[in-house]
Chains A and B, each alone.
Chain A
Amino acid sequence: MARIHLYIIFAMLLILQPLSRADAGVAERNNFLTQVLSLAEKPKAYFILDLGGYKITLMARGVAIREWAITRLQFAGDPLPVKTYLLEKKSIRIDDLRNNIAPDGSVVNNISITPAEENKTGDNKESGDKKVKKYEVIAMEINDMPTSYRLFLNEGITIDIMSQTEGSVSFLKNAFDVFKAYAYYPIREIWNSYHKKAHTEIEIFFKDKTEAQALFWAFTDETECIILPPGTEDREDYQL
């Protein structure tokens, strides 16, 4: 008799367990979709940082418009629930990278334009008479963007963006990274939990520095993002 009871309990457990997992999944999906929809309703681009999938996706109206593949990443501190976060500022201000134009009309770039081209464009009517204007592009371009910087999100979240170091320095850099990962972060972890200080640090490495630069370019202040924690990358609940 007792054995039958045990069988019944076991059978009930088997039935109930997947159900409760499904419940959790449906609730999580609801939260995820609600967050995504609230961002997609705005006429602004937003980001989804997928820590498990090692990718950052720039989205607009629910459509992916650019993707960055992360080479390596690390995170420490308080785990983040799936919700919308706001980029408050960057460690380097884009306005500090801008050029001011002197209003004297003397220049524009370092690409010289030949007299023939000038005639074609009609830009310089005297070009046929030996006068050749030198053009110089004074502009803020992708190569002027930083390759290492920090993003400050609300709720004390920081994201360090770095590019992988190449050449002779790379060995030292890698050793430093290992030390940072397994010594510095855990010590900080203990320190912060002892002081009950809320903090979340994410480090993102790109192999190609232009990816870090392009992210700096696209990730403007006040941009909103959703951070998906590891473990969500293979789950259908977090797919669009």
Chain B
Amino acid sequence: MLTKKSLIISSIIFGSLLLVIAIIEGIGYHIINKNKSEWMNINHEKTDLDEKAVKDLQKKNEKLIKQLNKLSPKGIYIIVDTAKNILYLKKDNDIIRKAVIATGSGNVLTEQGGKNRSWTFDTPKGEFAVKYKLKDPKWVKPDWAFLEEGEDVPKKVGDRVEEDVLGEYAMGFGNGYFLHGTLYTRLLGRNVTHGCVRLGDEDLEVVNKASTVGTKIYIF
């Protein structure tokens, strides 16, 4: 008898609970939908424009589209995806080469001792352009390259020069950053560089041939 009673009570409680949840969710659904329609109508404000004003706006819109089109890159340009380590060489809307690359490690090097200089090895993001092109580039090692290896920074410039490490070509895009080749082809596809963009030999050749000084580079 007691079991039957408790069964009934627990069923009532459970049922009531379900009902409450259903009511809450029903109200919730109504509120959410109401909110959704508010979102959908936020920009649908009624405007009282006369015919002339509409025509003016249409003209302005056409002008804005033209201005936008002027800004967009034409011809050859480069897109660098630093997350996937992929470079896209594009001509207008077409991808003409997809290359596996290596980009910045994001690591931080802080100089010990007096100066306490610090470097963050990121590939810079944003819009850049090829500023100059080099054939058989030599690497003039910056201070961090020595500090990272625990070596003293040489005083003579000649002691900084390293040959045959940047591949056959290098394209500078500002602040010491380059698109260049690599000896470490196994590390392509990884974030291992000090900020430069490394390419394999064949891809480097194609990108170098296609790009000119001024070619836009978009890095994200």
Which residues of chain A have C-beta atoms less than 8 A from B38's C-beta?
79
List A68-122 residues whose CB lies under 8 Å from chain B: 75-77, 79-82, 94, 97-101, 103-106, 108-109, 111, 113, 117, 120-122
Of the four ranges (under 10, 10 to 19, 20 to 34, 35 or more), the interface on chain B belongs to 35 or more
Of the four ranges (under 10, 10 to 19, 20 to 34, 35 or more), the interface on chain A belongs to 35 or more
* Cβ-based interface call for B12 (8 A): no
Instruction: Give B71 Cβ to nearest chain A Cβ, in Å.
Output: 5
Binds B, one of A3-11, A16-24, A151-159, A165-173: A16-24
A66 to B42, CA, bound (A): 28
* Cβ-based interface call for A186 (8 A): yes
* Cβ-based interface call for A160 (8 A): no
Which residues of chain B have C-beta atoms less than 8 A from A178's C-beta?
25
A145 to B40, CA, bound (A): 33
On whether the beta carbons of B32 and A76 are closer than 8 Å, the reply is yes
A101 is contacted by which of B25, B29, B57, B107 (Cβ under 8 Å)?
B107
* Cβ-based interface call for B54 (8 A): yes
Instruction: Give B33 Cβ to nearest chain A Cβ, in Å.
Output: 10
A28 to B149, CA, bound (A): 58
* Cβ-based interface call for A218 (8 A): yes
Interface centre among A76, A101, A190, A213 (most CB of B within 10 A): A101
Which residues of chain A have C-beta atoms less than 8 A from B79's C-beta?
65
Q: A26-B49, A189-B35 are in contact. Are A105 and B150 (CB under 8 A)?
A: yes
Which residues of chain A have C-beta atoms less than 8 A from B218's C-beta?
45, 60-61, 63, 65
Of all chain B residues, which has the CB nearest A52? B40
Q: Count contacts between A and B, CB distance < 8 Å.
A: 208
On whether the beta carbons of A81 and B183 are closer than 8 Å, the reply is no
Instruction: Give A95 Cβ to nearest chain B Cβ, in Å.
Output: 8
Instruction: Give A218 Cβ to nearest chain B Cβ, in Å.
Output: 5
A79 to B34, CA, bound (A): 11
A138 to B187, CA, bound (A): 12
On whether the beta carbons of B183 and A22 are closer than 8 Å, the reply is no
Instruction: Give B156 Cβ to nearest chain A Cβ, in Å.
Output: 21
* Cβ-based interface call for B211 (8 A): no
On whether the beta carbons of A61 and B127 are closer than 8 Å, the reply is yes
Q: In terms of DSSP, what is the predominant structure of the interface of chain A? A: mixed
A51 to B40, CA, bound (A): 10
- Top-7 shortest CB links A-B: A140-B106, A105-B149, A182-B28, A231-B40, A186-B28, A139-B105, A121-B183
By a beta-carbon cutoff of 8 Å, the part of chain A in contact with chain B is 20, 22-24, 26-31, 33-34, 36-37, 40-41, 43-45, 51, 58, 60-63, 65-66, 75-77, 79-82, 94, 97-101, 103-106, 108-109, 111, 113, 117, 120-123, 137-142, 145, 178, 181-183, 185-187, 189-190, 213-214, 217-218, 220, 229-232, 240
Additional pairs, 16, CB under 8 Å, beyond known A98-B108, A140-B106: A24-B45, A26-B57, A31-B43, A34-B64, A37-B64, A60-B218, A65-B218, A75-B35, A98-B120, A105-B148, A109-B192, A137-B105, A185-B31, A186-B24, A217-B82, A231-B44
By a beta-carbon cutoff of 8 Å, the part of chain B in contact with chain A is 21, 24-25, 27-29, 31-32, 35-36, 38-49, 53-54, 57-58, 60-61, 64-65, 67-69, 71-73, 79, 81-84, 105-112, 120, 125-127, 147-151, 164-165, 183-184, 186-187, 190-192, 216, 218, 220
